[in-house]
Chain A
Amino acid sequence: MLNIKGFSLSRENEKFMLINDMFIRSGMKVNIFGNNDTGRSLLLRSIHGDFYGFGGKIEIKDKPILFYKKKKKTILLENTSHLLINESVWKNIIIPLPKVTARQKQNIMELCMISKLSDKIGKKINTLSSSSKKFIELIRAVIQLPQIILIDDLENYFDDKNIVTALEICNFALNSGASVITTSKRKLENFDVYYRIQDSKVVKL
């Protein structure tokens, strides 16, 4: 599904985040880990089509990311939270949905139950913890069944127990053929594929 070839980022004439060849199939959970300032966030933004200052080629389903400019099939969960703080959990989850079907409603309730948000569904966002807020963003992404869910710095919001919960939520989209790509500072458990960033290169483990 995702095919990256000859990818590189540049900073002051110095290339970093070099990827010779990366192919990620649908339904895969991928963890890319490495230190700070290695270009993890820029890689995710490049795949998402928010950043074009890279070298090489990125294709999703054999089409360049430029093709998806106005009809994005990826959802990026960045470090900063993208929520309406004065609105309820429910409202924040359904923001991008044109219409909430009975099936979607049921799925949302199930996912909220997994993330222990079911009793807070009517509460305003500003009363919730940062991990709960990230769960809301994750449920919102998952429920739309995109081709790829990109999560930057997964460990920033979740402890090990919550990471397991987050992956359980991701399974909903994974079962429908989506892929999940996460970045982190350390290697996380329960992923299908791992890439390590070392010496400015991305290496498959």
Chain B
Amino acid sequence: MKKGIFFQIIVIFFILLGWNLLHIGYDFQKDLFERNISSLPMMVLSMQENTLEQVKIRIEKKDYIEDIIIIQDSVIAQTLISNYDLVEGNEILRSYILPTAMQINFRGEIFQIEQKQELDKILLEYSPGVIHYFDDQRWQIDQNKISLLTKAYYAGFGIFIIFMMFIAILLRVHFEMKNDHFWKIFHSSGGNYRKRGTQYFINSIYICLIPLILNLAIYYTIRYMQLLSVKIDYKIFGIEILTIIISSVFAAITLREHLK
């Protein structure tokens, strides 16, 4: 393998590595914010347990619901007594009629603005019999963070596509032009006229596949060793190889007169 091709493979390998680190970093950070949302339960209170059961039936199949726990009033009283050491006020507390509570835990990766609006609308239908408590502010902060992170990720993704194409085309054209003298001599000395085009195609296969295979090997090794919890979508690898293929095609179009 020629030095130029080897150099291009190394450069593209490192760009891909950086690109994959961007996906991993994004997934890792997004996962963190989503877990924050998952840890925010919604408490729904009602004096009628039946109403809560109806609400539960209506929403438990929603994909953004992780689980729903209905807590009986007696359990609430017991929890309050044990948590706040109210043994002396036991009888007083038992004399009060406490509401039944329903704790809704969410799947952070799905519970977004649209889903929250849908849930609020459902709960509104049962008001004033049902009231709910949710840390909207914290949820909104996490949503904003996810939104900002996603925007930054897409921007980074776009930059990587442009950067990859720019570097891949630039290097390809540079090394092909550097070899132009050799090919002129090759052709004038009687060498096969199709050889340069064939060689370009073979080199394109090396440049497209080797860096990606190395990246995949690293990724799966780390996954196998359980050092990485997040997964990279297969489509991402598809986009990566497509970018390199398109770069090779653009470079070939630029060099068409030389490759003939």
Which B174-215 residues have C-beta < 8 A from chain A? Answer: 181-182, 184-186, 188-195
Which A30-85 residues have C-beta < 8 A from chain B? Answer: 70-72, 75-76, 78, 82-84
Q: Are B193 and A95 in contact (CB under 8 A)?
A: no
Q: Are B189 and A96 in contact (CB under 8 A)?
A: yes
Task: Name the one of B182, B190, B192, B194 contacting A140, with C-beta atoms under 8 angstroms.
Answer: B190
**Residue count of chain A within 8 Å CB distance of chain B:** 17
Interface size on B, as a range, is 10 to 19
Chain B residues, CB < 8 A from A75? 189-190
Smallest CB-CB separation from A143: which chain B residue? B190
Q: Are B185 and A95 in contact (CB under 8 A)?
A: yes
Q: Tell me how far the C-beta of A73 lies from the nearest C-beta in chain B, rounded to whole angstroms.
A: 9
A137 to B185, CA, bound (A): 10
A95 to B191, CA, bound (A): 7
Chain B residues, CB < 8 A from A137? 189
Smallest CB-CB separation from B183: which chain A residue? A95
Smallest CB-CB separation from A145: which chain B residue? B190
Q: Are B188 and A76 in contact (CB under 8 A)?
A: yes
Chain B residues, CB < 8 A from A70? 193-194
Smallest CB-CB separation from A76: which chain B residue? B188
Interface status of A141 (Cβ within 8 A of chain B): yes
Q: Are B193 and A82 in contact (CB under 8 A)?
A: no
A141 to B192, CA, bound (A): 13
Interface status of A146 (Cβ within 8 A of chain B): yes
A75 to B192, CA, bound (A): 12
Q: Are A72 and B189 in contact (CB under 8 A)?
A: no
Q: Are A146 and B190 in contact (CB under 8 A)?
A: yes
Chain B residues, CB < 8 A from A141? 189-190
Q: Are B189 and A95 in contact (CB under 8 A)?
A: yes
Q: Are A82 and B189 in contact (CB under 8 A)?
A: yes
A-B contact number at CB 8 A: 36
A159 to B226, CA, bound (A): 76
Q: Are A84 and B185 in contact (CB under 8 A)?
A: yes
Which B139-198 residues have C-beta < 8 A from chain A? Answer: 181-182, 184-186, 188-195
Q: Are A83 and B193 in contact (CB under 8 A)?
A: no
> Which of A78, A96, A137 has the most C-beta atoms of chain B within 10 angstroms of its own C-beta?
A96
Q: Are B185 and A83 in contact (CB under 8 A)?
A: yes
Q: Tell me how far the C-beta of B260 lies from the nearest C-beta in chain A, rounded to whole angstroms.
A: 9
Q: Tell me how far the C-beta of B215 lies from the nearest C-beta in chain A, rounded to whole angstroms.
A: 33
Q: Are A140 and B193 in contact (CB under 8 A)?
A: no
A98 to B189, CA, bound (A): 13
Chain A residues, CB < 8 A from B181? 84
Interface status of A144 (Cβ within 8 A of chain B): yes
Chain A residues, CB < 8 A from B192? 96, 98
Task: Name the one of A71, A98, A144 contacting B193, with C-beta atoms under 8 angstroms.
Answer: A71
Q: Are A84 and B190 in contact (CB under 8 A)?
A: no
Q: Tell me how far the C-beta of A149 lies from the nearest C-beta in chain B, rounded to whole angstroms.
A: 9
Q: Tell me how far the C-beta of B125 lies from the nearest C-beta in chain A, rounded to whole angstroms.
A: 77
Smallest CB-CB separation from A74: which chain B residue? B190
Smallest CB-CB separation from B186: which chain A residue? A95
A95 to B186, CA, bound (A): 6
Chain A residues, CB < 8 A from B193? 70-72
A146 to B191, CA, bound (A): 11
Smallest CB-CB separation from A98: which chain B residue? B192
Q: Tell me how far the C-beta of B93 lies from the nearest C-beta in chain A, rounded to whole angstroms.
A: 95
Other A-B pairs beyond A95-B186, A95-B191, 17, CB < 8 Å: A70-B193, A71-B193, A75-B189, A75-B190, A76-B188, A78-B188, A82-B185, A82-B188, A83-B185, A84-B182, A95-B182, A95-B185, A96-B189, A96-B190, A96-B191, A140-B189, A144-B190
Interface set of A (CB-CB < 8 Å, partner B): 70-72, 75-76, 78, 82-84, 95-96, 98, 137, 140-141, 144, 146
Across the A-B interface, give the 9 residue pairs with the lowest CB-CB distance, nearest first.
Answer: A96-B191, A75-B190, A82-B188, A70-B193, A96-B189, A96-B190, A82-B185, A144-B190, A95-B189
